[in-house]
Protein backbone atom coordinates (compact mmCIF):
# COMPACT_ATOMS: atom_id res chain seq x y z
CA UNK A 1 0.00 0.00 0.00
CA UNK A 2 1.40 3.35 -1.06
CA UNK A 3 1.33 6.42 1.15
CA UNK A 4 -1.59 8.70 0.44
CA UNK A 5 -0.76 11.68 -1.75
CA UNK A 6 -3.36 13.88 -0.10
CA UNK A 7 -4.87 13.56 3.34
CA UNK A 8 -7.22 16.21 4.61
CA UNK A 9 -9.25 16.15 7.78
CA UNK A 10 -12.05 18.20 9.27
CA UNK A 11 -12.27 20.80 6.53
CA UNK A 12 -14.90 23.44 7.18
CA UNK A 13 -15.41 26.38 4.89
CA UNK A 14 -16.89 29.69 5.91
CA UNK A 15 -17.45 32.62 3.57
CA UNK A 16 -18.63 35.73 5.34
CA UNK A 17 -21.20 34.64 7.90
CA UNK A 18 -22.23 31.45 6.14
CA UNK A 19 -20.77 28.04 6.78
CA UNK A 20 -20.65 26.48 3.30
CA UNK A 21 -19.62 22.89 3.93
CA UNK A 22 -17.95 20.61 6.42
CA UNK A 23 -16.72 18.56 7.95
CA UNK A 24 -15.05 17.09 4.89
CA UNK A 25 -12.38 14.40 5.01
CA UNK A 26 -10.31 13.48 1.95
CA UNK A 27 -7.78 10.75 1.33
CA UNK A 28 -6.40 10.31 -2.18
CA UNK A 29 -3.87 7.73 -3.35
CA UNK A 30 -1.25 8.60 -5.99
CA UNK A 31 -2.90 8.55 -9.39
CA UNK A 32 -6.36 9.28 -8.03
CA UNK A 33 -8.73 11.90 -9.36
CA UNK A 34 -11.39 13.80 -7.48
CA UNK A 35 -14.26 15.56 -9.19
CA UNK A 36 -15.96 18.27 -7.12
CA UNK A 37 -19.48 19.08 -8.19
CA UNK A 38 -22.35 21.11 -6.86
CA UNK A 39 -24.23 24.28 -7.74
CA UNK A 40 -22.63 27.73 -7.91
CA UNK A 41 -21.68 29.16 -4.55
CA UNK A 42 -21.45 25.80 -2.79
CA UNK A 43 -17.73 26.27 -2.13
CA UNK A 44 -15.94 24.36 -4.92
CA UNK A 45 -13.48 27.17 -5.58
CA UNK A 46 -13.01 27.74 -1.85
CA UNK A 47 -12.18 24.06 -1.37
CA UNK A 48 -9.67 24.16 -4.24
CA UNK A 49 -8.02 27.25 -2.75
CA UNK A 50 -8.03 25.57 0.65
CA UNK A 51 -6.31 22.51 -0.81
CA UNK A 52 -3.81 24.84 -2.47
CA UNK A 53 -2.97 26.33 0.93
CA UNK A 54 -4.26 29.76 -0.07
CA UNK A 55 -7.30 29.72 2.19
CA UNK A 56 -7.18 28.52 5.76
CA UNK A 57 -9.81 25.97 6.80
CA UNK A 58 -12.33 27.45 9.17
CA UNK A 59 -11.97 26.16 12.72
CA UNK A 60 -15.50 25.18 13.66
CA UNK A 61 -15.56 25.05 17.43
CA UNK A 62 -18.65 23.40 18.78
CA UNK A 63 -19.64 21.88 15.47
CA UNK A 64 -19.19 18.37 16.78
CA UNK A 65 -15.43 18.65 16.60
CA UNK A 66 -12.80 20.99 17.89
CA UNK A 67 -10.03 19.83 15.58
CA UNK A 68 -8.19 22.21 13.34
CA UNK A 69 -8.63 21.28 9.73
CA UNK A 70 -5.43 19.81 8.33
CA UNK A 71 -4.23 19.24 4.77
CA UNK A 72 -1.12 17.22 3.95
CA UNK A 73 0.26 16.78 0.45
CA UNK A 74 3.09 14.50 -0.59
CA UNK A 75 4.59 16.40 -3.51
CA UNK A 76 4.29 19.76 -5.24
CA UNK A 77 1.12 21.48 -6.43
CA UNK A 78 -0.02 23.36 -9.50
CA UNK A 79 -3.17 25.48 -9.58
CA UNK A 80 -5.35 26.48 -12.51
CA UNK A 81 -8.15 28.94 -11.77
CA UNK A 82 -10.00 31.70 -13.57
CA UNK A 83 -6.95 33.98 -13.43
CA UNK A 84 -4.26 33.08 -15.97
CA UNK A 85 -1.33 34.66 -14.02
CA UNK A 86 0.16 35.74 -17.36
CA UNK A 87 1.10 39.36 -18.02
CA UNK A 88 -1.68 40.79 -20.14
CA UNK A 89 0.36 43.14 -22.31
CA UNK A 90 3.22 40.71 -23.03
CA UNK A 91 3.25 38.37 -26.01
CA UNK A 92 2.17 34.91 -24.90
CA UNK A 93 5.62 33.44 -25.50
CA UNK A 94 7.27 35.96 -23.16
CA UNK A 95 4.53 35.68 -20.53
CA UNK A 96 5.07 31.91 -20.45
CA UNK A 97 8.84 32.38 -20.52
CA UNK A 98 8.63 34.22 -17.18
CA UNK A 99 7.24 31.07 -15.57
CA UNK A 100 9.77 28.87 -17.43
CA UNK A 101 12.47 31.00 -15.83
CA UNK A 102 11.11 30.15 -12.39
CA UNK A 103 9.98 26.56 -12.95
CA UNK A 104 12.63 25.41 -15.39
CA UNK A 105 10.05 23.39 -17.33
CA UNK A 106 8.89 24.08 -20.84
CA UNK A 107 5.24 24.15 -21.82
CA UNK A 108 4.22 22.13 -24.89
CA UNK A 109 2.77 25.04 -26.89
CA UNK A 110 2.24 22.96 -30.04
CA UNK A 111 0.18 20.34 -28.28
CA UNK A 112 -2.07 22.97 -26.71
CA UNK A 113 -2.62 24.66 -30.09
CA UNK A 114 -0.74 27.78 -29.03
CA UNK A 115 2.27 27.60 -31.35
CA UNK A 116 0.89 30.24 -33.73
CA UNK A 117 -0.14 32.56 -30.87
CA UNK A 118 3.23 33.02 -29.15
CA UNK A 119 3.65 36.54 -30.60
CA UNK A 120 0.13 37.67 -29.66
CA UNK A 121 -0.27 39.76 -26.48
CA UNK A 122 -2.15 37.79 -23.84
CA UNK A 123 -4.95 40.36 -23.61
CA UNK A 124 -5.92 39.69 -27.25
CA UNK A 125 -6.42 35.96 -26.65
CA UNK A 126 -9.94 34.56 -26.47
CA UNK A 127 -11.32 32.96 -23.30
CA UNK A 128 -10.51 29.48 -24.53
CA UNK A 129 -7.05 30.46 -25.72
CA UNK A 130 -6.32 32.03 -22.32
CA UNK A 131 -7.42 28.79 -20.65
CA UNK A 132 -5.07 26.84 -22.93
CA UNK A 133 -2.26 29.28 -22.08
CA UNK A 134 -2.91 28.81 -18.36
CA UNK A 135 -2.81 25.03 -18.92
CA UNK A 136 0.55 25.47 -20.62
CA UNK A 137 1.76 27.29 -17.48
CA UNK A 138 0.46 24.44 -15.29
CA UNK A 139 2.18 21.77 -17.38
CA UNK A 140 5.41 23.75 -17.55
CA UNK A 141 5.48 23.95 -13.77
CA UNK A 142 6.12 20.21 -13.62
CA UNK A 143 4.31 19.83 -10.31
CA UNK A 144 3.27 16.43 -8.98
CA UNK A 145 -0.40 17.21 -8.38
CA UNK A 146 -2.89 19.44 -10.14
CA UNK A 147 -5.75 21.51 -8.74
CA UNK A 148 -8.00 22.56 -11.60
CA UNK A 149 -10.84 25.00 -10.99
CA UNK A 150 -13.28 24.91 -13.92
CA UNK A 151 -10.60 23.81 -16.42
CA UNK A 152 -13.14 23.30 -19.20
CA UNK A 153 -14.67 26.79 -19.19
CA UNK A 154 -14.44 28.32 -22.64
CA UNK A 155 -12.73 25.31 -24.22
CA UNK A 156 -13.97 23.77 -27.47
CA UNK A 157 -14.57 20.04 -27.87
CA UNK A 158 -10.94 19.37 -28.89
CA UNK A 159 -9.80 21.33 -25.89
CA UNK A 160 -11.95 19.27 -23.53
CA UNK A 161 -10.55 16.04 -24.97
CA UNK A 162 -7.03 17.46 -24.62
CA UNK A 163 -7.59 18.33 -20.96
CA UNK A 164 -8.91 14.83 -20.32
CA UNK A 165 -5.80 13.34 -21.98
CA UNK A 166 -3.49 15.60 -19.98
CA UNK A 167 -5.22 14.65 -16.73
CA UNK A 168 -4.94 10.95 -17.60
CA UNK A 169 -1.20 11.37 -18.28
CA UNK A 170 -0.65 13.22 -15.00
CA UNK A 171 -2.47 10.45 -13.14
CA UNK A 172 -0.50 7.76 -14.93
CA UNK A 173 2.63 9.36 -13.49
CA UNK A 174 1.26 9.09 -9.98
CA UNK A 175 -0.19 12.59 -9.71
CA UNK A 176 -3.42 13.45 -7.96
CA UNK A 177 -5.80 15.66 -9.92
CA UNK A 178 -8.62 17.55 -8.21
CA UNK A 179 -11.13 19.10 -10.59
CA UNK A 180 -13.94 21.46 -9.71
CA UNK A 181 -16.32 21.55 -12.64
CA UNK A 182 -20.03 21.66 -13.26
CA UNK A 183 -19.45 20.18 -16.71
CA UNK A 184 -19.10 16.43 -17.16
CA UNK A 185 -15.44 15.35 -17.33
CA UNK A 186 -14.26 11.96 -18.52
CA UNK A 187 -12.28 10.72 -15.53
CA UNK A 188 -12.03 6.93 -15.38
CA UNK A 189 -12.15 5.70 -11.82
CA UNK A 190 -12.51 9.15 -10.33
CA UNK A 191 -14.08 9.83 -6.98
CA UNK A 192 -16.90 12.36 -7.17
CA UNK A 193 -17.87 14.57 -4.27
CA UNK A 194 -21.00 16.66 -4.44
CA UNK A 195 -20.53 19.37 -1.83
CA UNK A 196 -24.31 19.41 -1.29
CA UNK A 197 -23.83 16.06 0.47
CA UNK A 198 -21.56 17.72 3.04
CA UNK A 199 -23.67 20.54 4.39
CA UNK A 200 -22.47 22.36 7.44
CA UNK B 1 15.03 30.25 -4.96
CA UNK B 2 17.51 33.05 -5.77
CA UNK B 3 17.10 32.29 -9.47
CA UNK B 4 13.34 32.69 -9.10
CA UNK B 5 13.81 35.97 -7.22
CA UNK B 6 16.08 37.24 -10.00
CA UNK B 7 13.41 36.37 -12.57
CA UNK B 8 10.85 38.25 -10.47
CA UNK B 9 13.17 41.26 -10.09
CA UNK B 10 13.71 41.28 -13.84
CA UNK B 11 9.95 41.20 -14.45
CA UNK B 12 9.27 43.89 -11.83
CA UNK B 13 11.90 46.18 -13.30
CA UNK B 14 10.76 45.75 -16.88
CA UNK B 15 7.16 46.43 -15.83
CA UNK B 16 7.99 49.44 -13.67
CA UNK B 17 10.72 51.02 -15.79
CA UNK B 18 9.53 50.41 -19.32
CA UNK B 19 6.25 48.57 -19.15
CA UNK B 20 2.64 49.45 -18.74
CA UNK B 21 3.04 50.29 -15.09
CA UNK B 22 5.21 53.20 -16.13
CA UNK B 23 6.45 54.09 -12.69
CA UNK B 24 9.40 56.15 -13.87
CA UNK B 25 8.51 58.58 -16.63
CA UNK B 26 5.33 60.04 -15.12
CA UNK B 27 6.73 60.61 -11.61
CA UNK B 28 9.88 62.22 -13.02
CA UNK B 29 7.87 64.52 -15.29
CA UNK B 30 5.56 65.38 -12.40
CA UNK B 31 8.59 66.11 -10.21
CA UNK B 32 10.13 68.39 -12.82
CA UNK B 33 6.79 70.11 -13.40
CA UNK B 34 6.55 71.02 -9.69
CA UNK B 35 10.12 72.32 -9.68
CA UNK B 36 9.32 74.36 -12.76
CA UNK B 37 6.02 75.75 -11.52
CA UNK B 38 7.28 76.83 -8.10
CA UNK B 39 9.34 79.80 -9.36
CA UNK B 40 6.35 80.95 -11.41
CA UNK B 41 4.19 80.89 -8.30
CA UNK B 42 6.52 82.62 -5.80
CA UNK B 43 8.26 84.95 -8.21
CA UNK B 44 11.86 85.28 -9.40
CA UNK B 45 13.39 86.12 -6.03
CA UNK B 46 16.65 84.18 -6.32
CA UNK B 47 17.40 84.25 -2.60
CA UNK B 48 13.95 83.00 -1.65
CA UNK B 49 14.14 80.25 -4.26
CA UNK B 50 17.58 79.14 -3.12
CA UNK B 51 16.42 79.07 0.50
CA UNK B 52 13.19 77.10 -0.11
CA UNK B 53 14.24 75.11 -3.18
CA UNK B 54 15.60 72.12 -1.26
CA UNK B 55 12.31 71.73 0.60
CA UNK B 56 10.38 72.02 -2.66
CA UNK B 57 12.45 69.19 -4.13
CA UNK B 58 11.64 67.02 -1.11
CA UNK B 59 7.90 67.71 -1.29
CA UNK B 60 7.90 67.10 -5.05
CA UNK B 61 9.81 63.82 -4.60
CA UNK B 62 7.34 62.67 -1.95
CA UNK B 63 4.34 63.45 -4.15
CA UNK B 64 5.96 61.90 -7.22
CA UNK B 65 6.55 58.68 -5.27
CA UNK B 66 2.79 58.43 -4.64
CA UNK B 67 1.89 58.35 -8.34
CA UNK B 68 2.65 54.67 -9.12
CA UNK B 69 1.23 53.23 -5.87
CA UNK B 70 -1.92 51.68 -7.36
CA UNK B 71 0.16 49.72 -9.86
CA UNK B 72 2.65 48.27 -7.39
CA UNK B 73 0.74 45.34 -5.87
CA UNK B 74 -2.88 45.22 -6.94
CA UNK B 75 -2.46 44.17 -10.60
CA UNK B 76 -0.45 41.12 -9.52
CA UNK B 77 -3.09 40.09 -6.98
CA UNK B 78 -5.78 40.39 -9.65
CA UNK B 79 -3.72 38.38 -12.12
CA UNK B 80 -3.22 35.62 -9.54
CA UNK B 81 0.57 36.02 -9.62
CA UNK B 82 0.91 36.00 -5.83
CA UNK B 83 -1.11 32.77 -5.58
CA UNK B 84 1.17 31.11 -8.13
CA UNK B 85 4.32 32.30 -6.34
CA UNK B 86 2.97 31.01 -3.03
CA UNK B 87 2.28 27.60 -4.59
CA UNK B 88 5.93 27.49 -5.65
CA UNK B 89 7.03 28.12 -2.07
CA UNK B 90 8.21 31.70 -2.70
CA UNK B 91 7.02 33.65 0.31
CA UNK B 92 5.20 36.97 0.04
CA UNK B 93 7.93 38.54 2.19
CA UNK B 94 10.62 37.79 -0.39
CA UNK B 95 8.46 39.03 -3.23
CA UNK B 96 7.76 42.27 -1.38
CA UNK B 97 11.47 42.73 -0.66
CA UNK B 98 12.19 42.32 -4.36
CA UNK B 99 9.35 44.67 -5.25
CA UNK B 100 10.67 47.37 -2.86
CA UNK B 101 14.06 47.12 -4.56
CA UNK B 102 12.50 47.31 -8.02
CA UNK B 103 10.25 50.21 -7.02
CA UNK B 104 13.19 52.13 -5.57
CA UNK B 105 15.34 51.51 -8.66
CA UNK B 106 12.50 52.72 -10.85
CA UNK B 107 11.99 56.07 -9.10
CA UNK B 108 14.86 56.78 -6.66
CA UNK B 109 17.84 57.15 -8.99
CA UNK B 110 15.71 58.82 -11.72
CA UNK B 111 14.51 61.41 -9.19
CA UNK B 112 18.08 61.99 -8.04
CA UNK B 113 19.05 62.69 -11.65
CA UNK B 114 16.03 64.91 -12.15
CA UNK B 115 17.03 66.80 -9.00
CA UNK B 116 20.06 68.10 -10.87
CA UNK B 117 17.72 69.79 -13.33
CA UNK B 118 15.36 70.91 -10.57
CA UNK B 119 18.31 72.42 -8.67
CA UNK B 120 19.12 74.46 -11.77
CA UNK B 121 15.53 75.64 -12.10
CA UNK B 122 15.44 76.67 -8.45
CA UNK B 123 18.93 78.13 -8.37
CA UNK B 124 20.32 75.94 -5.58
CA UNK B 125 23.99 76.23 -4.71
CA UNK B 126 26.37 73.30 -4.75
CA UNK B 127 26.33 72.59 -1.02
CA UNK B 128 22.55 72.52 -0.87
CA UNK B 129 22.37 70.31 -3.93
CA UNK B 130 24.82 67.90 -2.34
CA UNK B 131 22.74 67.71 0.86
CA UNK B 132 19.55 67.21 -1.19
CA UNK B 133 21.11 64.42 -3.23
CA UNK B 134 22.48 62.58 -0.18
CA UNK B 135 19.13 63.09 1.56
CA UNK B 136 17.27 61.60 -1.41
CA UNK B 137 19.73 58.71 -1.58
CA UNK B 138 19.05 57.70 2.03
CA UNK B 139 15.39 58.79 2.11
CA UNK B 140 13.91 57.36 -1.11
CA UNK B 141 14.49 53.69 -0.10
CA UNK B 142 12.25 54.38 2.90
CA UNK B 143 9.70 56.02 0.62
CA UNK B 144 9.78 52.96 -1.63
CA UNK B 145 9.26 50.59 1.33
CA UNK B 146 6.42 52.74 2.64
CA UNK B 147 4.83 52.91 -0.81
CA UNK B 148 4.88 49.14 -1.31
CA UNK B 149 3.51 48.53 2.20
CA UNK B 150 0.63 50.95 1.74
CA UNK B 151 -0.03 49.63 -1.78
CA UNK B 152 -0.36 46.12 -0.33
CA UNK B 153 -2.62 47.30 2.48
CA UNK B 154 -4.98 49.13 0.14
CA UNK B 155 -4.96 46.58 -2.71
CA UNK B 156 -8.47 45.54 -3.61
CA UNK B 157 -10.16 48.31 -1.62
CA UNK B 158 -12.62 50.58 -3.33
CA UNK B 159 -10.82 53.85 -4.01
CA UNK B 160 -7.59 52.16 -2.96
CA UNK B 161 -5.42 54.41 -5.10
CA UNK B 162 -6.65 57.65 -3.49
CA UNK B 163 -6.57 56.06 -0.05
CA UNK B 164 -2.97 54.90 -0.59
CA UNK B 165 -1.90 58.46 -1.35
CA UNK B 166 -3.63 59.80 1.75
CA UNK B 167 -2.06 57.10 3.94
CA UNK B 168 1.47 57.59 2.65
CA UNK B 169 1.57 61.34 3.29
CA UNK B 170 1.34 61.30 7.12
CA UNK B 171 3.57 58.23 7.38
CA UNK B 172 6.20 59.92 5.23
CA UNK B 173 6.29 63.02 7.44
CA UNK B 174 9.31 61.81 9.51
CA UNK B 175 11.31 61.28 6.31
CA UNK B 176 10.33 64.75 5.12
CA UNK B 177 11.14 66.45 8.43
CA UNK B 178 14.58 64.89 8.78
CA UNK B 179 15.38 64.97 5.05
CA UNK B 180 14.35 68.56 4.43
CA UNK B 181 15.46 69.55 7.93
CA UNK B 182 19.02 68.53 7.13
CA UNK B 183 19.02 71.41 4.62
CA UNK B 184 18.44 74.20 7.12
CA UNK B 185 20.82 72.82 9.73
CA UNK B 186 23.26 71.72 7.07
CA UNK B 187 24.14 68.95 9.47
CA UNK B 188 24.74 65.28 9.10
CA UNK B 189 22.39 64.57 12.01
CA UNK B 190 19.33 65.11 9.83
CA UNK B 191 20.70 62.84 7.13
CA UNK B 192 21.52 60.15 9.67
CA UNK B 193 18.00 60.30 11.07
CA UNK B 194 16.55 60.14 7.54
CA UNK B 195 18.59 57.01 6.99
CA UNK B 196 17.42 55.58 10.30
CA UNK B 197 13.75 56.11 9.41
CA UNK B 198 14.43 54.55 6.00
CA UNK B 199 16.00 51.49 7.57
CA UNK B 200 13.05 51.02 9.95
CA UNK B 201 10.60 51.25 7.04
CA UNK B 202 12.71 48.84 4.97
CA UNK B 203 12.80 46.35 7.84
CA UNK B 204 9.04 46.47 8.43
CA UNK B 205 7.86 46.52 4.80
CA UNK B 206 8.29 42.85 3.78
CA UNK B 207 6.45 41.55 6.84
CA UNK B 208 3.68 44.15 6.91
CA UNK B 209 3.05 44.00 3.17
CA UNK B 210 3.38 40.20 3.11
CA UNK B 211 0.76 39.85 5.83
CA UNK B 212 -1.49 42.33 4.02
CA UNK B 213 -1.28 40.32 0.79
CA UNK B 214 -2.08 37.08 2.62
CA UNK B 215 -5.06 38.56 4.39
CA UNK B 216 -6.40 40.02 1.15
CA UNK B 217 -7.05 36.42 0.06
CA UNK B 218 -9.82 36.32 2.66
pLDDT attached to residue A62: 59
The tens place of each residue's pLDDT in chain A, 200 residues long, gives: 467 888 888 888 888 888 888 788 888 889 899 999 888 888 888 899 999 988 888 876 655 555 677 888 888 999 999 898 999 989 999 999 999 888 887 778 888 889 899 999 999 999 999 999 999 999 989 889 999 999 998 899 999 999 999 999 999 998 999 999 888 888 888 888 888 887 76
Q: Give buried/exposed letters for B146-172 (b at 16+ CB in 10 A, else e).
A: bbbbbbbbbbbeeebeebbbebbeeeb
pLDDT attached to residue A1: 47
Where does residue B75 rank: exposed (0-12), middle (13-18), buried (19+ CB within 10 A)? middle
Residues 18-47, chain B, touching A (beta carbon < 8 A): 19-20
Contact call for residues B69 and B179 (beta carbons, < 8 A): no
pLDDT attached to residue A64: 56
Between strands A70-73 and A33-37, the pairing is: unpaired
pLDDT attached to residue A70: 84
Q: What one-character DSSP code corresponds to residue B18?
A: I
Q: What chain A residue is nearest to B80 in terms of C-alpha separation?
A: A85
Which residues of chain B fall short of a pLDDT of 50? none
**What is the Cα–Cα distance from B61 to B107, expressed in whole angstroms?**
9
B87 touches A: beta carbon within 8 Å: yes
Distance from the Cα of B218 to chain A's closest Cα (Å) equals 7
Q: Strands of A33-37's sheet, edge to edge? A: A77-80, A145-149, A177-180, A33-37, A191-194
A164 touches B: beta carbon within 8 Å: no
pLDDT attached to residue B57: 93
Are A98 and B218 a contacting pair at CB < 8 A? no
Are A102 and B217 a contacting pair at CB < 8 A? no
Q: What chain B residue is nearest to A80 in terms of C-alpha separation?
A: B84
Residues 6+ apart with CB under 8 A from B6: none
In this prediction the pTM is 0.90
pLDDT attached to residue B21: 66
Contact call for residues A71 and A54 (beta carbons, < 8 A): no
Contact call for residues B79 and A83 (beta carbons, < 8 A): yes
pLDDT attached to residue A61: 66
Amino acid sequence: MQAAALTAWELFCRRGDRLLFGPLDLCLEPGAALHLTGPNGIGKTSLIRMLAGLLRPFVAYGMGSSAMGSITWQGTLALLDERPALDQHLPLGKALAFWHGIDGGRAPAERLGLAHLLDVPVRYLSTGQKKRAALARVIGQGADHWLLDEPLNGLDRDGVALVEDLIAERRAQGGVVVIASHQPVELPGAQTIDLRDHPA
Amino acid sequence: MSGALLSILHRDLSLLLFGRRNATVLPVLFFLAVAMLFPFAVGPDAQLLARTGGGVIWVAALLAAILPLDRLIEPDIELGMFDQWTLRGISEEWIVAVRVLAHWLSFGPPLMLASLIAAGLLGLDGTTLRTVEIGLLVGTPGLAALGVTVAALTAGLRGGAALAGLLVIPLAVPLLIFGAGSLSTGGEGGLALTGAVSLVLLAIAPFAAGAAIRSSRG
